[in-house]
């Protein structure tokens, strides 16, 4: 595979993961699913969001290829789409960042 094609593929994958992690609800979903599969209602309750918000965020994560659902009667269980995501999230949680206080306030970066 040519280097440029691999680079574009990796860049797209990282951009999708970055998009997912940029939203606190989506990040919370990924962290919860890293522990075990869950129903949307369980995730909504755990993260304190409405069922509609959860549905929208799960649709986004499915579209990004980060989660998948498994039907179970009238319900669907969600899990991370690849076991490597669990390892990647575990590694990200080990990262220590030194943040400029005037740049990032927890709601996003303002230093752009």
Given a contact cutoff of 8 angstroms between Cβ atoms, the answer to whether 110 and 103 are in contact is: yes
The pTM score is 0.81
Tens of pLDDT along 20-68? Answer: 999 999 999 999 999 999 999 999 999 999 999 999 999 999 999 999 9
User: Does 105 map to a domain?
Assistant: no
User: Does 7 map to a domain?
Assistant: yes
CATH number, position 78: 1.10.10.10
User: Does 98 map to a domain?
Assistant: no
User: Does 67 map to a domain?
Assistant: yes
Whole domain around residue 44: which residue ranges? 3-93
pLDDT for 100: 80
User: Does 109 map to a domain?
Assistant: no
Residue 65 CA to residue 1 CA, distance in Å, equals 22
Residue 40 CA to residue 59 CA, distance in Å, equals 11
User: Does 85 map to a domain?
Assistant: yes
């Amino acid at each position: 595979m040519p280097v440029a094609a691999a680079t574009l593929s990796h860049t797209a994958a990282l951009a999708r993961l970055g998009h997912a992690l940029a939203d606190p609800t989506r990040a919370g979903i990924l962290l919860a699913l890293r522990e075990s599969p869950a129903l949307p209602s369980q995730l909504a309750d755990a993260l304190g969001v409405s069922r509609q918000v959860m549905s929208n965020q799960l649709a986004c994560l499915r579209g990004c290829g980060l989660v998948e659902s498994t039907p179970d009667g009238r319900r669907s269980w969600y899990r991370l789409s690849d076991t490597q995501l669990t390892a990647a999230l575990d590694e990200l949680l080990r990262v220590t960042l030194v943040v400029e206080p005037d740049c990032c306030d927890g709601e996003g970066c303002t230093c752009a």
